[in-house]
Copies of this chain bind each other. A is one copy, B any other.
Amino acid sequence: MHTPATAESILEQALLQGRWTLFERLPAERRLAEELGISRATLRTALRTLVGRGILETRRNSGTFVRTLPCAPQTSGPDDSLQAMSVVMPPLLSAVAGSFAPSVMLTLERLLPSVGMALHSGDMRLLARHHLHFFSTLLQAVPNARLAQAGACTLPDERTLTRLLEGCSQARLEELFKHLARTLHGLRHADPQASVAAVTAYVSCLLQYREESR
């Protein structure tokens, strides 16, 4: 017997795999429940949750429609976060660099020593976590929630970044650290272009290291 949570995952997977396109109407409840092999009550609970999450939309007298593409990790298609990050992060930073509150700079400044310590400890998993924490702190301070989400979609996951950092020499890890420090420096001194250049260099370095290690 499927639970509503399982039914919800099944529906979400189907959406991610493109079974229905944006704004398409889902099949009638009875048919959909049969297709998925679940009870109509379970299906209805799952549909309500997906409506609540803003993924589906119910229109009176006309059915249930796909409202947005779910933004969970996709299972199909290559998933190159570094390339996505290189496309999205520089223009994102360029657009919002002037609007960060001083408290954000303070948080980022406190993060940098942790990055430095992890670098010298040789714990690449911890280092990857601190690198990602740097970017997620930046993104959480982006005043436009949609833009922050778009940026968050492009952050590599911890495992991917850890593996990449494990292949880097100490000199290269220090270069990455410098780019993070320069990103912050540009933000602190109201020099968005310097931040954009630094973040571009950061992602380019990672892409180059990955290329060389293949």
Chain A contacts to B: CB under 8 angstroms: 3-6, 8-9, 12, 18, 21-23, 45-46, 48-49, 52-55, 67-69, 71-74, 76-81, 83-84, 87-88, 90-92, 94-95, 129, 132-133, 136-137, 139-140, 143-155, 157-158
Name A145's contact: one of B12, B78, B129, B147 (CB within 8 Å): B78
**Do A87 and B80 contact each other (CB < 8 Å), given the known contacts A71-B153, A153-B71?**
no
Q: Which residue of B lies closest to A87 (CB)?
A: B95
What is the copy number of this chain in the assembly? 2
Interface of A, helix, strand, loop or mixed by DSSP: helix
Instruction: Enumerate chain B residues within 8 angstroms of A129, measured Cβ to Cβ.
Output: 23
The 8 Å CB contact of A72, one of B53, B81, B151, is: B53
Inter-chain CA distance A143–B79, complex, in Å, is 9
Complex Cα gap A127–B134 (Å):
41
User: What CA separation (Å) do A154 and B144 show in the bound complex?
Assistant: 10
